[in-house]
Copies of this chain bind each other. A is one copy, B any other.
Amino acid sequence: MVKVGIVGGTGYTGVELLRLLAMHPQVDVQVVTSRAEKGLRVDSVYPSLRGFNDLCFVEPDAKHLTTCDVVFFATPNATAMHMAQELLNAGVKVIDLSADFRLKDVAVWEKWYGAKHVCPELLEQAVYGLPETNRVAIKNASLIANPGCYPTATQLGFLPLIKAGAIDTSMLISDAKSGVSGAGRSASVVGLMSECGESFKAYSVPGHRHLPEIYQELQNISKSAVSLTFTPHLVPMIRGIHATLYAPLTDDSVNLQTLFEEFYADEPFVDVLPAGAHPDTGDVRGTNRCQIAVHQPQGGKVVTVLSVIDNLVKGASGQAVHNMNIMFGLDERAGLNQVGLYP
């Protein structure tokens, strides 16, 4: 049994880790921290966990956590960077669901996250935890930077096209739509149902923090310069991301459907839909699956990719568990083999 600790157990990615790990046959969650809820039973805060979890929240002290095999950080940005080195020194593997170790360039990180990075020396060793591109490195990693939700949906859609050299990477567009759980479980006005229910809007159009992350990763795999316009939107639903991706086709001879199907043939959590399909976030609700469809509307020069995930699973906690499975040599599907909750 893998001994697990979770720092920041009261946010949505924290409680989602608890849900997934409660159904994982080879995991024992031993520590869940929360400064605010210290001493309370976890299932008194989350009645959905009654009968599945007997723990109480504890302070996020290293002494509780160094007995674990792996610690997940489900914390706000600029938190994990303060504790990661101590845990790594103690031989504990670290999977950070926040953005602290995602960007290789510390100056870029500090610009977008508005803070001083306290352990830039770890950035080199951190492995970006997208299994579809980094499986081998993940297997040998001690520190995982778990990808953001928008970057996951966007990269999985562009990857086959960039690898095949089929598109002009100088005018990529990711028009992405997220459910409101992406904004987390903090008191706010903008997240009120009265504000975001029955309405739809874009946000952070001038520049969103996930832009440099997507850019870095797409640039890594592209042989030519990448330019990306990224527009996030807020959808009046709780879970789900739908990325609608556009790029000019440079190679008319590519069979797009075959390209995608072959590229993802062996991936357990990427499901290429039949030609002509329109993936629906509702079909991946509660699962670690990305469903993708590729279109060439009107036979024109623009390829349109539709990529959907559950932002809290494949876009966060599920992908983190997937990374853990790879790191510990477990079945990649362990704890993640659920059917989507439709309807």
Contacts and interface: CB of A to CB of B under 8 A. Distances in A.
Interface of A: 12, 15, 18-19, 22-23, 44, 46-52, 171, 173, 175, 177, 179-181, 183, 185-189, 191-203, 205-207, 211, 227, 229-231, 233, 235-240, 242, 244, 246, 248, 271, 273-274, 276-287, 291, 293, 295, 297-298, 300-302, 304, 306, 308, 337-343
A258 B340 CA distance: 37
A231 B301 CA distance: 15
A188 B199 contact: no
B244 A200 contact: no
B201 A278 contact: yes
12 contacts: A50-B271, A179-B200, A180-B192, A185-B195, A193-B193, A195-B282, A197-B198, A200-B281, A201-B308, A207-B298, A227-B301, A229-B297
A206 B295 contact: yes
A343 B23 contact: no
Contacts of A282: 48, 195, 198-201
Which of A199, A248, A297, A337 has most B Cβ within 10 Å?
A199
A306 B339 contact: no
A47 B194 CA distance: 15
Given A191-B193, A227-B300, A199 B15 contact: no
B199 A180 contact: no
A19 B227 contact: no
A284 B48 contact: yes
Contact of A302 (B47, B173, B286): B173
B301 A271 contact: no
Given A47-B280, A175-B175, A180-B192, A197 B301 contact: no
B237 A200 contact: yes
B202 A306 contact: yes
Given A46-B342, A200-B281, A278-B205, A246 B173 contact: yes
B280 A340 contact: no
B276 A206 contact: yes
A-B residue pairs, 4 tightest by C-beta: A199-B282, A48-B340, A193-B193, A201-B280
B238 A343 contact: yes
A229 B246 contact: yes
A241 to B, nearest CB: 8
A302 to B, nearest CB: 5
A47 B180 contact: no
A133 to B, nearest CB: 22
A230 B302 CA distance: 11
Given A48-B284, A207-B297, A300-B229, A194 B195 contact: no
Contact of A205 (B52, B230, B240, B304): B304
Contacts of A301: 171, 227
Given A205-B278, A206-B295, A302 B171 contact: yes
A268 to B, nearest CB: 9
A165 to B, nearest CB: 20
Contacts of A297: 205-207, 229-231
